[in-house]
Amino acid sequence: MTSNVLTSDMFLASRDAVPEGLRHGVVAIGNFDGVHRGHQAVLKAAIERARIVGGPVAALTFEPHPRQFFRPDVPLFRLTPDHVKAELFAALGLSGAVTLTFDADIAALSAEAFVKRWIADGFAADQVIVGYDFHFGKGREGSPVKLSALGLTHGFQVTIVGAQSGEGDTPYSSTAVREALADGRLEEARGQLGYRWFFESEVVHGEKRGRDLGYPTANMALDPAVTLRHGVYAVRARDVRSGGPILFGVASFGRRPQFDNGAPLFETHFFDFADDLYGRPLEIELIAFLRPEARFDSVETLIEQMDRDSVAARHAIADVALDPFGPEALTSAREQPAP
């Protein structure tokens, strides 16, 4: 996505307030972590309703994730932080999004108070779209059925989207995506998401061992809660700020057992690229899981394996080089003509 999406007042800048341009339209409500195919069904239903009745279509979501608020001691692998969700919302064709800060005040609102404050008064919504398992209000007292009843009181209609599933009737879920990524099953995660999973992080200085090995790397520290499988990956990347050309490479994520066995680090060697990337935020898209992290008998043996990894990564990347990057896969699917 272009950088103007990330700075739009209708997306990231609209925390805890509803821009006038998003009022009197259709609202889809949920956490939407991952914006997987189940979430997309809710959002696409909202977009379709907006086409029929007119007006804007927006997402109403929450940060931090309510699970993090109620259980701060339990790490949660966030698939799509707020700014990444904004990219995916824009790619699907939403007009914008409002992100509520999930705090003690929000948690204490009754279902009816939440509806009045945010849906009726804030959005002045004509239509509300939610998933079948959506709950809200203090103690999760609110359900889709209760939301429908409150809609009659406050003058908006509610559409409830049923459970969605893929091949083998496996339900789409953020948990399933996390489990697939933790096992290195990237194609399964992609099947759940409808796009290849990607993350954003800033390039930091490392020990620079890669230069000595003939494989200089761009190093990134991921959130400690990320449970991505440690190992070697074929990847694509792009500079978030410049919107420059897509880079291709081979990456290692893990604790570097050959050397220090320290904190996990994502280290990417980009092919045919030598510019300075320090301090730049990059989006990294995972193409293929090549092998688990391992310790070798010698540095020479490690280098030989890195050579093989590079060949394998180039082969994997060649098959997808022209595919849309990350969220653009959703834009591409949206723009395909109807069968």
User: CA-to-CA distance for 45 and 129, rounded, in angstroms?
Assistant: 7
pLDDT for residue 262: 74
Q: Is the dihedral of CA 168, 315, 227, 279 positive or negative?
A: negative
Element (H, E) at 285: strand 281-292
User: CA-to-CA distance for 129 and 133, rounded, in angstroms?
Assistant: 12
Residues whose CB falls within 8 Å of the CB of residue 114, separated by 6 or more in sequence, listed in order: 106, 136, 137, 142
Kindly report, residue by residue over 2-45, the tens digit of the pLDDT.
Answer: 333 333 567 755 566 799 999 999 999 999 999 999 999 999 99
pLDDT for residue 11: 72
Kindly report, residue by residue over 319-335, the tens digit of the pLDDT.
Answer: 898 899 989 999 887 76
Percent of the chain exceeding pLDDT 70 equals 91
> Is 48 labeled as catalytic in the residue annotation?
no
Kindly report, residue by residue over 164-180, the tens digit of the pLDDT.
Answer: 998 777 889 999 999 99
Element (H, E) at 291: strand 281-292
Residues whose CB falls within 8 Å of the CB of residue 255, separated by 6 or more in sequence, listed in order: 230, 261, 262, 263, 264, 265, 293
Per DSSP, the three-state class of 281 is: strand
Which of these is catalytic: 63, 87, 188, 267?
Answer: 267
Q: Assign residue 206 a region: left if phi > 0, alpha if psi is -120 to 50, beta otherwise?
A: beta
Mean pLDDT of the chain: 90
Whole-structure pTM value: 0.90
